[in-house]
Amino acid sequence: MKENLFHVQQEQVEKLKEIGSRLRQFRLEQSISLEEVAAKTRIQARLLNAIEEGKIEILPESVYIKGFIKQFGDALGLNGAELARDFPTWQTIQFIRPTWLSLPATQLRPIHLYLLYVLLVIGAVNGLSYFVNKSAMEVSNAQSSRQQRDKLNEKGYQAQINTQQLLQPINVSEVSQPSKSDNPVRVGVTLKSQSWIRIVADGKTEFEGVLQQGDQRTWEAKQQLTVLAGNAGAVLVAVNDEKAKKLGAAGQLQRVTFEANRKS
């Protein structure tokens, strides 16, 4: 195999000198300077000069030399692809081992190892970032799902409690609250704990929902005001600024109607 490599190296040197000589001769015949070719191909003039003189040790890998020859020839109006095809590269030799293992030391340069290292680092960072972001997203989704589930469970539990309370027999207590003539009835409600409540003032529902512990509300009616509570023991009612009293027993559904004192 060493003999084959040496043979290819020698063939590259000879072919480069032959191709470079043809390129220089044609360039001089056309009165074209290396600087003009360099401006057109964007290949450094020193590399173009190395091709013409066959100085392969100055040039990069053979695959790049092949590309330079093609551009050089095209810039001069020649068939660059045909010229480049005559220049042998390591890829034209078939090895039993993988190609990267068979490359000679002269072609495996520090820059290649550095680029390989950079690519490995970038790949590792991107992979780590992907898994970190994925884990964070899964945790966030799990927390969001748990919060939504807790809210639904809370609503479902409250609906179940309200349904059970509404299925209980309603204790109706009609109370006639004396007041000054033609004054409306005013009812203040304070919650000792959570309870579902409905307020009907003069036949119109003013409120229906769940009030929390510590909530305070006041409603007025010209004729009558009805308070329906799912947990009567948790509701303190004060009529016309009098002392507050419990609406009923704890956990019991009860309805109480307060009427204004009509003028006799």
Sorted by where each begins, the domain ranges of the chain are 2-103, 108-134, 171-259
Residue range 2-103, CATH number = 1.10.260.40
Task: Please give the model's pTM, rounded to 2 decimal places.
Answer: 0.37
Report the alpha-carbon distance of residue 84 to residue 40 in Å, rounded. 18
Laid out side by side, the sheet with 245-246 consists of 216-221, 185-191, 235-239, 245-246
pLDDT in 10s for each residue of the chain, 264 residues: 556 667 788 899 999 999 999 999 999 999 999 999 999 999 999 999 999 999 999 999 989 999 999 999 999 999 999 999 999 986 554 443 444 444 454 455 666 676 787 788 788 877 776 766 776 677 667 776 677 666 655 555 455 545 455 445 556 555 555 555 568 899 999 999 999 999 999 999 999 999 999 999 999 999 999 999 999 999 999 999 899 999 999 989 999 999 987 654
CB atoms within 10 A of CB 129: 10
Of 184, 177, 195, residue with least CA distance to 243: 177
Beta strands in the chain (DSSP E): 171-176, 185-191, 195-201, 204-211, 216-221, 224-229, 235-239, 245-246, 254-259
The CATH classification number of 171-259 equals: 2.60.40
**Residue from 263, 262, 231 nearest 248 by CA:** 231
